């Protein structure tokens, strides 16, 4: 086996399977179990958080943990709870807790302070929350999507705390649906808004120009250039995700899924509250029993 092939295999195995479209980075890249981020020390937050969102992640039954804490993976130290205390800003999730309901690890990691950014409460609990719910619905429709999101970091940002955590004036999300070969992007001001989400749609190229980040650089140039040049609103549903009754029931009644994971041949380790005893990923197996 040549050195080139050996290096390629080693490099491929070192990257999580979901991180195939990770953006370019100007900071320290940290790989967590279900998402990665590029941490910018000068701003005490991420320039991007990237992850692959699937219907299994969205439809999990793990309850919210709220265990906000510093990220031990950041070599220079992440922001802390004290940085946000009395600031008037929410600890706004970049990778939402609601996107990581598959298990305790996924949920808990979203509460690392490296995944937080100072957001105006009316923004975080309003239009941003609405966008997050809409994106979750896309994960259901498309089966899986790739997401990069964060605040727009610049030298003009104001700051909170003595550690000078930057307060972005704008936030972005860029989304790629591989199966449908389509992209869409948003830039939203960090403030209350009652206008439709459609009003904040931009091309991925516009987000790249604003942030200096190269999104989806792994795609062939011809495809990347085509998809990033325009966001076709008509290709996306703007219905918001709403959990099914089985996902809102008490997690204490959950049982281990009866399904068999195709990748390992072993019984699925997920918990489910579905009456048939199968999680959403293996519900089709119930019909074969």
Q: 117-167, pLDDT tens digit by residue?
A: 999 999 999 999 999 999 999 999 998 999 999 999 999 999 999 999 999
CA distances from 66 to 54, 219, 260 (A): 22, 36, 32
Nearest partner of 67 among 39, 37, 100, judged by Cα: 100
Q: Does residue 63 belong to any structural domain of this protein?
A: yes
Phi and psi at 78, nearest 5°, equal -90, 175
Residues 21 and 43 in one domain: yes
Count: domains in the chain: 2
Q: What pLDDT is attached to residue 20?
A: 83
Residues 205 and 273 in one domain: no
Q: What pLDDT is attached to residue 174?
A: 98
Quickly count: other Cβ atoms within 10 Å of residue 249's Cβ.
14
Residues 49 and 126 in one domain: yes
Quickly count: other Cβ atoms within 10 Å of residue 210's Cβ.
14
Residues 262 and 163 in one domain: no
Q: Does residue 7 belong to any structural domain of this protein?
A: no
Residues 251 and 239 in one domain: no
CA angle, 89 then 123 then 153, to 5°: 70
Structure letter (DSSP) for residue 23? P
Specify the DSSP element, H or E, that contains 92.
strand 90-93
Q: Does residue 1 belong to any structural domain of this protein?
A: no
Residues 125 and 202 in one domain: yes
Q: What pLDDT is attached to residue 263?
A: 73
Q: What pLDDT is attached to residue 108?
A: 97
Q: What pLDDT is attached to residue 27?
A: 94
Residues 62 and 190 in one domain: yes
Q: What pLDDT is attached to residue 264?
A: 72
What 3 state SS string does 207-247 have?
Answer: HHHHHCCCCCCCCCHHHHHHHHCCCCHHHCCCCCCCCCHHH
Dihedral, CA of residue 8, residue 148, residue 226 and residue 223, to nearest 10: 20
Residues 64 and 184 in one domain: yes
Q: Does residue 125 belong to any structural domain of this protein?
A: yes
Q: What pLDDT is attached to residue 133?
A: 96
Residues of the chain with pLDDT below 50 are 1-13, 246-252, 287-289
Question: Which CATH number do you get for residue 227?
Answer: 3.40.570.10
Q: Does residue 151 belong to any structural domain of this protein?
A: yes
Q: What pLDDT is attached to residue 56?
A: 94
Residues 54 and 181 in one domain: yes
Q: Does residue 3 belong to any structural domain of this protein?
A: no
Q: Does residue 5 belong to any structural domain of this protein?
A: no
Residues 135 and 147 in one domain: yes
Residues 141 and 274 in one domain: no
CB 119 within 8 A of CB 125: no
Q: Does residue 8 belong to any structural domain of this protein?
A: no
Domain enclosing residue 283, as ranges: 247-289
Q: What pLDDT is attached to residue 280?
A: 82
Residues 130 and 33 in one domain: yes
């Amino acid at each position: 086996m040549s050195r080139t092939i050996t290096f390629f295999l080693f490099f491929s195995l070192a990257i999580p399977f979901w991180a195939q479209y990770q953006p370019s980075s100007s900071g320290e890249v940290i790989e967590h179990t279900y998402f990665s981020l590029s941490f910018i020390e000068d701003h005490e937050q991420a320039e991007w958080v990237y992850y692959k969102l699937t219907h299994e992640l969205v439809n999990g039954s793990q309850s919210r943990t709220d265990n906000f804490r510093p990220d031990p993976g950041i070599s220079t130290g992440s922001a802390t709870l004290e940085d946000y205390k009395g600031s008037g800003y929410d600890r706004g999730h970049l990778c939402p807790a609601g996107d990581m309901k598959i298990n305790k690890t996924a949920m808990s990691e979203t509460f690392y302070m490296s995944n937080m950014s100072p957001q105006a409460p009316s923004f975080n609990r309003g239009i941003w929350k609405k966008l997050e719910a809409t994106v979750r619905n896309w994960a259901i429709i498309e089966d899986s999507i790739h997401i990069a999101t964060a605040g727009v970091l610049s030298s003009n940002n104001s700051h909170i705390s003595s550690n000078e955590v930057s307060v972005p004036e704008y936030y972005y999300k860029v989304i790629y649906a591989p199966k449908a070969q389509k992209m869409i992007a948003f830039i939203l001001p960090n403030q209350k808004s009652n206008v439709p989400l459609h009003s904040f749609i931009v091309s991925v190229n516009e987000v790249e120009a604003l942030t200096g980040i190269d999104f989806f650089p792994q795609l062939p140039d011809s495809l990347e250039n085509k998809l990033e040049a325009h966001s076709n609103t008509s290709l996306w549903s703007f219905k918001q995700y709403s959990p099914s009754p089985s996902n809102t029931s008490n997690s204490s009644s959950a049982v281990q899924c009866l399904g068999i994971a195709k990748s390992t041949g072993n019984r699925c380790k997920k918990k489910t509250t579905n009456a048939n005893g199968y999680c959403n990923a293996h519900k089709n197996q119930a019909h074969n029993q």
